Amino acid sequence: MAKMIHSMIRILDETRSLAFYGAAFGLTVAERLDFETFTLLYLSNGESEFELELTVNKGRTEAYGLGDGYGHLAVSVTDLDAEHLRVTDLGLNPGKIIELKRDGALLARFFFLTDPDGYKIEVLQRHGRYK
């Protein structure tokens, strides 16, 4: 059986992205692999073995076009309201908290953040399938 281990996104500014992912999600660099034309940064925290791989292509100056194929990354938290307040206080401009119901029952509570490169991250209350 396959095991999901990481997802990769391309970024322009290593310092800016590390600051965002550290402040927003407590992610730190688990490993940094520097090559001649690019750098790979594997970010993680103690909540999960899953990692976010940031790829920095050296010399690139223009923003990446996310197109219409990218959806979002998702993380779960134990207290969505406290997390929304915390990232608001950090100036990270979260979207409003949304409640999604199905057949009258709560399916999910969440909000979105946008990282410095325009990637969307869904922050979900741990509930039901969203553990």
CATH of the domain at 42: 3.10.180.10
Identify any residues that bridge with 45 across adjacent strands, giving them in sequence order.
48
Side chain identity at 10, as an amino acid letter? R
CA pair distance 45, 39, nearest whole angstrom? 20
Count of structural domains within the chain: 1
At residue 14, what are phi and psi to the nearest 5 degrees? Answer: -60, -50
In a domain, 130, yes or no: no
In a domain, 131, yes or no: no
In a domain, 15, yes or no: yes
- Residue with the two structure tokens 């223009």: 62
Tokens standing for 23?
């402040």
What range does the domain containing 111 cover? 6-125
In a domain, 108, yes or no: yes
Q: What is the pLDDT of residue 3?
A: 81
In a domain, 70, yes or no: yes
Name the pTM for this structure: 0.89
Q: What is the pLDDT of residue 67?
A: 85
pLDDT tens profile 62-86: 999 988 878 899 999 999 999 999 9
Q: What is the pLDDT of residue 30?
A: 97
Q: Show pLDDT as tens, one digit a residue, over the chain (131 residues).
A: 878 899 999 999 999 999 999 999 999 999 999 999 999 999 999 999 999 999 999 999 999 998 887 889 999 999 999 999 999 999 999 999 999 999 999 999 999 999 999 999 999 999 998 98
In a domain, 118, yes or no: yes
Closest CA to 44 of 25, 71, 24: 25
Q: What is the pLDDT of residue 63?
A: 92
CA pair distance 120, 47, nearest whole angstrom? 20
In a domain, 71, yes or no: yes
Q: What is the pLDDT of residue 70?
A: 81
Reported for 75-81, long-range contacts at CB under 8 A and 24+ positions apart, including other chains, are 75/25, 75/121, 75/122, 75/123, 75/124, 76/123, 76/124, 76/125, 76/126, 76/130, 76/131, 77/123, 77/124, 77/125, 77/126, 78/125, 78/126, 79/125, 80/109, 80/110, 80/111, 80/123, 80/124, 80/125
In a domain, 96, yes or no: yes
Q: What is the pLDDT of residue 27?
A: 97
47 tagged catalytic: no
